[in-house]
Amino acid sequence: MGWLLILTVPMRLIALVLWFIVGAMWFAARCRKAQTPDIRQ
């Protein structure tokens, strides 16, 4: 059981970091799209 806990904790941290990066990128893209009108559309 100990090795399972050691394995799951870093995976949860990595998942949290990934979600934070995805959220930050989505937020930055949304802010950029709101500031400048999209030329493609």
> 16: which 2 tokens?
């949290």
CA angle 8, 12, 15 (to 5 degrees): 135
pTM, whole model, 2 decimals? 0.57
Q: Is residue 37 left, alpha or beta, with left meaning phi > 0 and alpha meaning psi from -120 to 50?
A: beta
- The HSE-up count of residue 32 (CA atoms within 13 Å, CB side) is 7
Cβ-proximal residues to 12 (8 Å cutoff; 6+ apart), any chain: none
Residues 8-40 pLDDT 10s: 998 999 999 999 999 999 999 998 887 766 666
Q: What per-residue confidence (pLDDT) applies to 41?
A: 57
Q: What is the dihedral of CA 20, 25, 28, 32, to 10 degrees?
A: -170
